[in-house]
Amino acid sequence: MTTHRTTLEDKVAVIGGGEKNLGGLVSRTFADAGARGVVVHYHNDSSASDAEQTVEAVQEAGAQAVAVQADLTRPNDVESVFDTAVREFDGFDIAVNTAGMVLRKPILETTEDEYDKMLGINAKAAFFFLKEAGRRINDRGRIVTLVTSLLPAFTDGYSTYNGGKAAAEHFTRAAAKEFIERGISVNNVGPGPMDTPFFYPQETDERVEFHKSQAMDDQLTDIEDIAPLIKYLVTDGGWITGQTIFANGGYTTR
């Protein structure tokens, strides 16, 4: 009987948005757990120093690491990220996409450019990351996409953000079925609003306090609460596939 439990020992991981915040923590967590190699993706020059710091931290933990810059809304750039994994490490076993962008704005005030940008990073990039990961990943690989606990929420202002993440959720479901013959698990993780610089520019102080009040211990989600869940899904949680798992201290549920 095939076991779906595994470890990170000798595994290679590609981390979309792997340079800082949750992605940086996932990169370091995988290295600490014995991964052989980590490809740290970052989006633009402003994140290059973060990527280098994460690469150094991964190497200090005993793993190999390489940083690669790419715009994940461009399919050719997505291919280049996975080309790097194949070239540097002869393949990869895990792909985690933490990339995303938040906009809180009423529908009536949202421009076409804002719509295109939001759906580009939250939906299009998620699709082509899944596509390329599924095409290139080793058999019995693990793929995780970061979505949001706002998916089951009845709220205002997040139409383009939530709409893009809703699309990503359904891409994952389809991929889980399509990749199942190769033993590849494909899942989403939906954190609550996270205590990172990614969140605060969209909210007033009053709304931040409201978001905190909706979760356990009156606090936002900490990235330290999410990285272990992602680690579980790519190791012992291999029997889980096609799922969206909300980790949010009770912020939302469905």
In a domain, residue 254? The reply is no
Backbone φ, ψ for residue 212 (5° rounding): -60, -40
Question: Which CATH number do you get for residue 222?
Answer: 3.40.50.720
Within a domain: 3: no
Asked whether residue 154 is assigned to any structural domain, the reply reads: yes
DSSP 56: H
Structural domain harbouring 114? 12-247
DSSP one-letter code for 221: B
Domain count, the chain: 1
pLDDT tens column, 74-124: 999 999 999 999 999 999 999 999 999 999 999 999 999 999 999 999 999
For 185-236, the pLDDT digits (tens) are 999 999 999 888 878 887 888 988 988 898 999 999 999 999 999 999 999 9
Residue 16 lies in a domain: yes
Is residue 135 in some structural domain?
A: yes
CA-derived radius of gyration, the chain: 17
pTM for the model stands at: 0.96
What is the tens place of the pLDDT at every residue in 125-156? 999 999 999 999 999 999 999 999 999 999 89
